[in-house]
Structure 1
């Protein structure tokens, strides 16, 4: 694609990066076929190709409007388009740049500003978000049905195995997952202990930074990344071999730390090291002898929802299902498994109507094979899908935990 980016943008690293991404797009339109919002709305401007064109116009000097902002807001950043694109266009990075430019130039309505501020100041902090969940359970009978459905069912995490001098890996505690489904990391620790690995949480680490970063609170997001790097660095220097991230959305973010902090001379080198060490649990588990796990499946029918951040963000496609099959689970078919469930970080809160439509489609697909359980690999998807079905929704590691 030909561009005429303004010199004021080309003088910045982000502007030069955006120009290179724009030039890699051949405008073929293959991306529209797999874009969830284009499928729902049928509007070119609500598909990747249309959004790319809008960002190009802004960088060439056209003033963005509230309409421009809304079209960019409606993108889930599911990155399905990147999986489809034959030219390797780095759409998600271009969208981050474009959203930031538009955010600087278009003032949001008061309610949106307050909502986004509240999300940035609440969601990434377990000490703030956790009490909200507890209050929600206390007043659950009084809540609207949609909000009631989103509350996670409290389940005990169970015991965390003590380190026993085995192979050593860090694990991200995270924010929402640490208070909404604490069993996920505990299950990971128990499973990996049986496979010969000690899993260690650093108390000083917290949110991966994605919540703020993708709401255009860039410095808040970068600060969260720096705190995690500082918290993990002593273990990394001591020889920790990997950083396990059990929420695939957080994993996609941590794997991008090197790029996000490339311009920070105090953190760039360490951020790249952290990104290189980041692993989704399936990358570790699939490489091990699973005999100590046994056959926990016993023929139970399971539908697996592959989060966008796993299959498109981390490009780990069809990797969990074979492992579950090897362990005795009967995997049911999931039509259009490449499509988003509508969670997409805070999207279910900022774009509730579109999110709800995507959820209905996803639940219909997951339930079509009549599974006993639904498994996934991301806390956002787990809570989103759990709010739309009566079938239990768990992290796939819990299936291995038994």
Structure 2
């Protein structure tokens, strides 16, 4: 093989997996807005037995080499839970995915995508939705707007060249996902304040914080509402029981009761809003490493985070209330409590809501009423095999 030829190899072992992980750090090292994930977290994501996504998915990682040097990577995967979803909701039978794409140039990107497609085709897949890295609940979509600022926690960041490279291989947009930002130091518009005041007078409504003394109970309530509320959304894939427990454990260090609310109607939990301080503000300077000193800095920060940005990654309301005035009222009431606590207790000045599907009219209406602005767009592409 000459130095100009590209070799695509499967990733079978620890040494090659380390190489697979390292590629992203090297290729993004010059991007001031890329937030290096902790290497331990990157490895956990990719490891069966640690990340429960692997329990119901078939995966293969590929590494591109040229002249013996790693120059790109990609994952190909088939989520059995996604295959079982109705086709009209985006996933469904015959739909596979690829993700975690990194490439030095367009030729490498095309070779990697072709290899992932071949792997999916050989296993009976007839369609691709990508990039999804690895689950739709992790980092779905390619960043196409918002390269000029770092992502918030649990959001992806991709080089701007990837969009024309992917589209140049025949992929077309299936769905856009948006994040919305707002200045949380300002009060919400008068119409929102009136809706909130009306809800506060309604004795049927209770907005309460997550109870850390009953954390497992409340996280189960949140995930059950989420699974029901999102079950008809495009791209939805349900959580397994192991994934529920894993998510609760992983998120617990970032969970603050005054930032995470459950709304009850006549004593029944019917809605929730999850908010987390932007951990990326701390991680961006750590270069993916906890040792020798970053672990202590991170633990200290986690005791009481002081941040610029709060992210609302998830909210949900039970189906019977969706598209009702009550649903909007509960959302505004939770947002207002979280807004006040974010400013007063954590020094935050900015909020980010999302991602939100481009056809989620209810959430887009709430974002518009709050006078937010779209700050990032991610695209999930599709292609027939």
TM-score by structure 2 length? 0.30
Structure with greater helix share of residues: 1
Between the two structures, name the one with larger relative contact order (CA 8 Å, sep ≥ 6). 2
TM-score by structure 1 length? 0.29
